[in-house]
Structure 1
Amino acid sequence: MASALGWFLLGLLLLALGGDSIVKGASGLAHRLRWSPFVVGLVLIALATSIPELAVNYRAVFAGQSDLALGNAVGSNIANVGLTLAAAAMVAPLLLRWRVLAPLLLMLVAATVAVILLALDGRLSALEGGLLAAAFVAVLLLALRRAGSDDAGVRAEIEGFTRTTDGLGRNLLRLAVAVALIGAGAWLVVRDAPRLGEALGLTPLMTGLLPVAIGTALPELAGAIAAARRGQGDLVAGHVLGSSLVNLLLVLGGMALIGGGLAVPASFVRYELPAALVLALMLLPILRGDMRVSRGEGAVLLAAFSAWIVFELSLLAG
């Protein structure tokens, strides 16, 4: 177990380093090409933090471990809200000014309900996967269109996420390093997570839900806490909602599309997907109210996340 844990943690570290490198490299190239910093910032907020998870999940699918990938995709959504957003709010209350956040949350709720309904027959077909992936493109385009009306403060915060002045060669090197780090990290995680899960008495699905999902969320958690301390609540919430939509629409949809369909266990439709839905619904009063996530609200979200972990472990023990 010690060996599997060590390699697993090393894989997580490589994923985190690769994710950071790809954001800097892509931002630098976009700046060099004179693309809009605001548009680039929106796209990276939606996609950047999910790239390591994308790599892990697709590596797992190609390695024949779809249960691990399925657990990681939905477990990451639960961790996004119940751990990342909650912990950031407990460190510093999050003031949300970005107008697109409320529509994105409604889209997340709708996407979760859609996945539950599509998976009632125990499977996401290739066609359904294609529809989910297409829905992500539509969501991203809608977000770009709606975000254009935001005030100068929000735009400056988003543009600042991509600010860099490094030269072309250095940014190309960053991208190359990122590809190598993320590839190696995903390989290590997919190779050693099942060994670690087996040692802990976890099924492949549960391994994806707990150690892999929580482990891949830790770099996002650190970044969210730092952003909360800087007063950048919009970035924290944007990362959480964007990453969650990527997991549901692009990851699950892509897995079903590429694999010619994706089997979804009945227990997953009964427990894990509804848990992700409940945590998303808990955000509705927050984003429809004072647009502020207080320390108390963060504590409630964290308590819900902790209760979910206890529930999952009790299912395993039972």
Structure 2
Amino acid sequence: MSFVIFVIAMGVLIWGADLIINQSERIALKFNIPEFIIGATLIALGTSLPEMAASIAASVSNKPDIAIANVIGSNVLNITLVLAAVFLIATKINPSRDFFAKDSTWALVPVLVFILMILDGVITRFDASLLLLLMGAYLVFLLQDAKNIPEEDLDDLDIVSFSWPKSISILFGGFVLVIIGAHFTVESASDIAKSFGISEWIIGIIMVSLGTSLPELVVSISAAVKGKVDMAIGNIIGSNMANTTVVLGAAALTKPMGINAPAYIFDISTMIVATLLLVFITANKLYNKSAGISLIIILGLFLNNTLQNM
């Protein structure tokens, strides 16, 4: 029964996030915000809503392992699964933006800060404030950078029909679905872990993170198929940035979270390696199927280790 509730709750969570993502994109298009900025901010934050809702719910329920494992697992999956899927599916990958110079290091910095924060075994409210401040700095950077985008680059954006009352109503409904879905996702995941004798960390890093990463997967693949590679890659980088700063920060701000870092060294190391690989790929502009296969190999090692520890 717990598994059925988990699947339904995850569906509700993703449905709510999808409503928020769609309306956020329509608002952005209405005001002629560039595609990359939409991907790296509104859509990235929107697709990270399931992670944030699930992690906050886990933190409030005194289940820090699920909250932190969800973030680590989502970061790993976003790069090794979602980005790999974009590379393997897209027929032509020639992004106009220099992701290395402007963005990929932004995904690495919060990961390194996270490592420093967990050395004492706890993520405090002060740590959470610093993480949220870091996301704020990234958003300011993106908004300032958007001013340098030539006006003609904005002409490709479609003009969409728009209604404030309708958008606000749908956004509100989406947030309600996300909150309800997150609560039952965490509780049912915890029940599954207990019934099978599996640690909450394993449940968080596989089941919850995989489920909450589905919006990123769907949005990025859809964007890649439509040839909007900048939006697809921007969504992945922005989502990882949001996961490590906003998701983790919001959860820890709600309630400080303890973590036994040495016990989860492989998972933490995999997140670091995956992020460094992202930086390497963008630095050398290796936007091809070979890079996608390399990422899939990292994913295979990650899943194999996790399954062996179940």
Distance 1:152 1:105, change over 3 A: same
Matches within 5 A, 1:26-65: 26-28=24-26, 35-38=31-34, 41=38, 42-65=40-63
Partner residue, 2:186: 190
Contact 1:129-1:252 at 8 Å conserved across structures: yes
* 2:299 maps to 1:305: yes
* Equivalent residue in structure 1 for 2:277, among 277, 282, 302: 282
Distance 1:292 1:234, change over 3 A: farther
**Percent of paired sites with the same residue:** 25
Post-superposition CA distance 1:186-210 (Å, at most 9, x none):
1221121112233444211111101
Contact 1:97-1:154 at 8 Å conserved across structures: no
Paired with 2:258 and 2:170, the residues of 1 have a C-alpha distance of 37
> One-letter code of the match for 2:194?
E
> One-letter code of the match for 2:145?
R
Distance 1:297 1:77, change over 3 A: same
> One-letter code of the match for 2:258?
A
Aligned alpha-carbon RMSD (Å):
2.3
Q: Structure 2-normalised TM-score?
A: 0.90
Q: Secondary structure at the match of 1:71?
A: helix
* Equivalent residue in structure 2 for 1:264, among 259, 263, 282: 259
Structure 1 residues 269-278 or 134-143, which shifts more? 269-278
Distance 1:227 1:265, change over 3 A: same
Post-superposition CA distance 1:203-232 (Å, at most 9, x none):
111111011101111232122222111111
* 2:7 maps to 1:12: no
How far off its partner does 1:69 sit? 0.8
> One-letter code of the match for 1:65?
K
How far off its partner does 1:120 sit? 1.1
Contact 2:55-2:248 at 8 Å conserved across structures: no
> One-letter code of the match for 2:275?
A
Post-superposition CA distance 1:37-89 (Å, at most 9, x none):
33972530331111121111111111221211111011100010011111121
Paired with 1:51 and 1:85, the residues of 2 have a C-alpha distance of 19
Paired with 2:13 and 2:32, the residues of 1 have a C-alpha distance of 27
Distance 1:63 1:153, change over 3 A: farther
How far off its partner does 1:153 sit? 7.4
* 2:70 maps to 1:72: yes
> One-letter code of the match for 1:133?
L
Paired with 1:197 and 1:37, the residues of 2 have a C-alpha distance of 43
Contact 1:100-1:143 at 8 Å conserved across structures: no
> One-letter code of the match for 1:307?
L
Q: Secondary structure at the match of 1:245?
A: helix
Contact 2:33-2:154 at 8 Å conserved across structures: no
Post-superposition CA distance 1:147-172 (Å, at most 9, x none):
33245676456x55xx5313223212
Structure 1, unaligned runs of 5 or more: none
Q: Secondary structure at the match of 1:98?
A: coil
Q: Secondary structure at the match of 2:140?
A: helix
Contact 2:41-2:235 at 8 Å conserved across structures: no
Q: Secondary structure at the match of 1:250?
A: helix
Matches within 5 A, 1:68-217: 68-92=66-90, 93-99=92-98, 102-150=101-149, 155=154, 159=157, 164-217=160-213
> One-letter code of the match for 1:282?
L
> One-letter code of the match for 1:300?
S
How far off its partner does 1:30 sit? 5.8
How far off its partner does 1:90 sit? 0.9
Contact 2:74-2:209 at 8 Å conserved across structures: yes
Moved over 6 A (4+): none
Distance 1:199 1:297, change over 3 A: farther
Count of aligned residue pairs for this structure pair: 307
Q: Secondary structure at the match of 1:145?
A: helix
